[in-house]
Amino acid sequence: MKRSIVLAALLTSSALAHIGEHSMRHWEIPSPDPDRIFLTFHGDPATSRAVTWRTDQSVEQAFAEIAPALGEPGFIHKAMRIKARTETVDLSQIISKDREPVHYHSVIFQDLEPESLYAYRVGDGKNRWSEWIQFKTASDKEEDFRFVYFGDAQNDVFSRWSRVIRMAHQTAPDAAFALHAGDLINHANADPERAGWFKAGSYLHAQWTGVPVIGNHEYNPVGGANRADKTMSALWQPQFTLPTDESLPDSLKETVYSFDYQGARFIILNSCAENAVQTRFLEKELKKPGARWKIVSFHHPIFAPGGRSNYKPEDREAWRDLFAEYNVDLVLQGHDHSYLRGQVPTLGKNGQPEDDFKTLYVVSVSGPKQYPTQKEFLKQYEPEHYEPVRRGENSQFFQVIEVGNDELVYEAYIATGERYDRAVIRKNHRTGKKKIRQDFEEIEQRTMINTIEYSKKDL
């Protein structure tokens, strides 16, 4: 639920120092022109979308226009105008005293036609409009589709994450949406960092429907062991218009949600707060009938390649056990700044993994900050709970995932567009049993040793 905001959240001292040294660029400065345009799911993806954007405070009333996308330029005459909801964020309270309030505007497009191409624009209703931007609604039937998944962007986003999201678009231009698995930026309330994230993605954020997952760096402060002392970024809810579930407390609204897309159910969780409450939500969503595939995403990994799981053991085990009980197919995570794909095996009478498996788990990173993997940490789960299959270090990744009727194709790429990993899941929907084929035999594993020497000083 959106609300007018005058926020008093404070940055960490290190973040303030970082921002204090920053000289604003023209694309960071709010103006009457719409910027930071971001498209999200809100309601049935076949018939609705939401869009959110920013202006300076001079735009007190904003609008969006939407029309069926036609080949002729006169498509604009079929546009429908929708009044936006506007809220205020006082940047002087969260950035520095010399920053003025900004306005965030949001509109929910409803009653759209399934599997149809639309064009929309946002602006003040007069002279300050964005360009016309196109998106396609989902089919209302079970049909094949692709989506893109990014692990943490987080650091040096404008400079070095930009190439990753743009290469992902070159690799999968027909992807239906892009999932961002948390830690989009480094400091929760750092508006200049958020500006860099939007500049890096440019029009793709407005054209690709985005599925943002909240991470620990979207909470302020990010340091310290007591997560209860943290507050959500003052910029998260104003920027992302996301589904809400009335069974959840306000503290989790627009961070925990679900949607169905052409036969697949996606469940987005917040691994940074109130995990026990989400366990009930998770089970409720997993129990719902009608999904041929079940895909879950959250930030902190269950099986962490670098040992940074950041869960209470009982919370981690509760989610893991529900994934097994309800036959979740794919779990997408971030946080550990390295790459790991593995699976929960089906064990034979001899205690060894069989051809069948239960759930595929992935941890990935798309930004430049990297950590080594810790093989010893995962041994506590093997072989009963987890079987690591493919690792990667010191590399920026993105994933393209194709969801079909009885087959799911998972592919991981490095920033240059070279494929690094591939797995194919075949599922018998009558029995729920799955088999997996691994396709990376001829690709050398990337490690801290065989790649350019890594240093955090480069961030």
Is residue 400 in a domain? yes
Residues 106 and 247 in one domain: no
Residues 366 and 408 in one domain: yes
Is residue 2 in a domain? no
Is residue 109 in a domain? yes
Tokens found for residue 107: 């509109």
> What are the pLDDT digits (tens) for 44-62?
999 999 999 999 999 999 9
Give, rounded to a whole angstrom, the gap between the first and last alpha carbons of the chain. 36
- Residue after which a domain boundary falls, among 136, 170, 191: 136
**pLDDT category of residue 70 using cuts at 50, 70 and 90:** very high
Residues 240 and 337 in one domain: yes
Residues 390 and 354 in one domain: yes
Structural domain for 341, as ranges: 145-458
Residues 256 and 365 in one domain: yes
Residues 178 and 326 in one domain: yes
Residues 48 and 90 in one domain: yes
Residues 304 and 443 in one domain: yes
Kindly give, in sequence order, each residue whose CB lies less than 8 Å from that of residue 277, ignoring residues fewer than 6 positions away: 248, 249, 252
Is residue 307 in a domain? yes
> What are the pLDDT digits (tens) for 261-293?
999 999 999 999 888 899 999 999 999 998 999
Longest dimension (CA), the chain: 72
Residues 303 and 232 in one domain: yes
Report the CATH number that the domain containing residue 221 is assigned in CATH. Answer: 3.60.21.10
Report the CATH number that the domain containing residue 111 is assigned in CATH. Answer: 2.60.40.380
More confident residue, 420 or 228: 420
Residues 102 and 224 in one domain: no
Residues 256 and 396 in one domain: yes
Crossing angle (nearest 10°) for helices 191-201 and 162-171: 30
> What are the pLDDT digits (tens) for 158-195?
999 999 999 999 999 999 999 999 999 999 999 999 99
- Residue after which a domain boundary falls, among 104, 136, 168: 136
Question: Is residue 115 a contact partner of residue 62, using CB atoms and an 8 Å limit?
Answer: no
Give the separation between CA 281 and CA 249, rounded to whole angstroms. Answer: 11
**pLDDT category of residue 19 using cuts at 50, 70 and 90:** very low
How many domains does the chain fold into?
2
Is residue 6 in a domain? no
Element (H, E) at 72: none
Residues 180 and 305 in one domain: yes
Is residue 114 in a domain? yes
Q: Amino acid identity, residue 20? A: G
- Residue after which a domain boundary falls, among 136, 161, 184: 136
